[in-house]
């Protein structure tokens, strides 16, 4: 019997779909090595491998069979995905073109040695755009964005998706959310096309324009929209919920309750940047990585409070997510601070703090990026995180994000979705 490598329920799936990886046709108790390989759009090779021993029936089921070592150990059904790592250091796996899949080659080799004898292989196509989802570039007014429209007639809950100070127009999270039933606007606000890399000021009117654009889509449910923000995008999400009346629900990932790095100008007000001193950044002699966790002045100092976002004024619902091993900044402490402020005003707030998780909490099965180059700063930044703990956090956070938005934007549970 030939050795077969299987991805179930289908070798073609959405990137955030969990899969079952099985191997059949091995000898009883046969020792093998499984390897996953993925070539990203820049040609960078990401790989993971793990050593296994087949059962008495000559089969492996990664949801039951323990890895004996390699990129991970123990029972890890999707370990070959979340432990993918590039040969070159400090590379981040981030999809640029969401119209094409990541293809993960899964191979099984004889023994635990040199991996010279290939026994079987298959390919798992992991897509970022579900069947029937539309991708629409938006260059309307000042907006630099991409709109993702789910399949079907709607109405759909509407989301705006904001990434951090690295800038650009990041689409892969928005496309996955649209594949799960959210009409999602991925919005650029710096370092993209004619948007400056480091703006002198960010204008609330730009984000209001994005909100109105989304609310004007006839398939969007008209009860208000949600904002999902990471890092700098998270404090912008809080500001939008504070100053714009159409925001009903906000998820903050690795964010803060103050305005960071770029002044925010609104109608009759400006929130200055929280004071910081880049001289307090620490550069590792061994790795050259920069740790920014101490550059900000103490957020508990009343001298910094004019930089606080007065989020207590907002009537939106809030979910805060942070990793306790965030090495970029002290997001866990900053989230605790804003949660306490809201609770002191009698507000119900959801907050989840993940042990061992780093700064870049992404959709599940994207591997941990502990460090990478910050495109705007031009420095290699330490993001933090431990592999297994971070992977667990991403799976849990993704479920929480979707459930939170369905509850508060549609008053319903998460619907089923398929590729």
Q: Which residues are catalytic?
A: 231, 326, 359
Helix (H) / strand (E) element for 215: namely helix 204-215
Residues 6+ apart with CB under 8 A from 245: none
Contact yes or no for 238/255 (Cβ under 8 A): yes
Q: Per-residue b/e over 116-145, b at no fewer than 16 CB within 10 Å?
A: eeebbebbbbbbbbbeebebeebeeeebbb
Strand pairing partners for 353?
322
Peptide bond between residue 250 and the one before it cis (omega within 30 degrees of 0): no
311: Cα within 13 Å, side-chain hemisphere: 37
Q: Per-residue b/e over 318-328, b at no fewer than 16 CB within 10 Å?
A: bbbbbbbbbbb
Strand pairing partners for 245?
none
Considering just the CA atoms, what is the radius of gyration of the chain in Å?
22
């Amino acid at each position: 019997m030939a050795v077969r490598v299987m991805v179930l329920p289908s070798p073609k799936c959405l990137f955030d779909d969990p899969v079952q990886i099985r191997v059949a046709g091995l000898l009883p108790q046969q020792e093998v090595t499984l390897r996953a390989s993925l070539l990203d759009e820049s040609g960078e090779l990401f790989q993971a491998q793990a050593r296994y021993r087949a059962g008495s029936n000559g089969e492996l089921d990664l949801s039951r069979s323990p890895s004996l070592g390699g990129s991970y150990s123990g029972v890890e059904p999707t370990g070959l995905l979340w432990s993918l790592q590039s040969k070159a250091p400090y590379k981040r796996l981030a999809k640029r073109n969401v119209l094409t899949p990541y293809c993960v080659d899964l191979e099984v080799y004889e023994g635990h040695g040199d991996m010279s004898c290939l026994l079987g292989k298959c390919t798992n196509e992991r897509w970022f755009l579900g069947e029937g989802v539309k991708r629409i570039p938006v260059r309307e007014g000042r907006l630099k964005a991409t709109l993702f429209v789910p399949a079907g007639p709607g109405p759909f809950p509407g989301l705006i998706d904001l990434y951090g100070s690295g800038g650009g127009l990041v689409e892969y999270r928005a496309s996955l959310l649209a594949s799960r039933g959210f009409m999602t606007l991925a919005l650029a606000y710096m370092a993209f096309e004619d948007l400056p890399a480091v703006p002198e000021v960010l204008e609330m009117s730009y984000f209001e324009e994005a909100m109105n654009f989304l609310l004007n889509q006839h398939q969007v449910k008209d009860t208000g929209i949600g904002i999902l923000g990471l890092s700098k995008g998270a404090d912008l999400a809080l500001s939008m919920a504070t100053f714009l009346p159409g925001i009903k629900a906000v998820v903050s990932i690795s964010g803060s309750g103050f305005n960071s790095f770029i002044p925010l100008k609104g109608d009759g007000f400006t929130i200055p940047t929280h004071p910081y001193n880049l001289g307090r950044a620490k550069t590792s002699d061994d790795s050259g990585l920069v740790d920014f966790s101490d550059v900000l002045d103490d957020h508990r100092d009343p001298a910094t409070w004019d930089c606080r976002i007065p989020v207590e004024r907002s009537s939106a619902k809030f979910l805060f997510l942070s990793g306790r091993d965030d090495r970029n900044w002290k997001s866990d402490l900053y989230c605790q601070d804003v949660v306490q402020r809201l609770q002191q005003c009698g507000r119900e707030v959801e907050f989840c703090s993940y042990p061992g998780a780093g700064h870049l909490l992404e959709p599940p099965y994207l591997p941990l990026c502990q460090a990478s180059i910050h495109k705007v700063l031009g420095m290699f930044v330490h993001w933090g995180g431990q592999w297994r703990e971070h992977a667990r956090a991403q799976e849990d956070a993704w479920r929480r994000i979707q459930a939170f938005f369905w509850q508060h934007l549609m008053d319903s549970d998460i619907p089923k979705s398929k590729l």
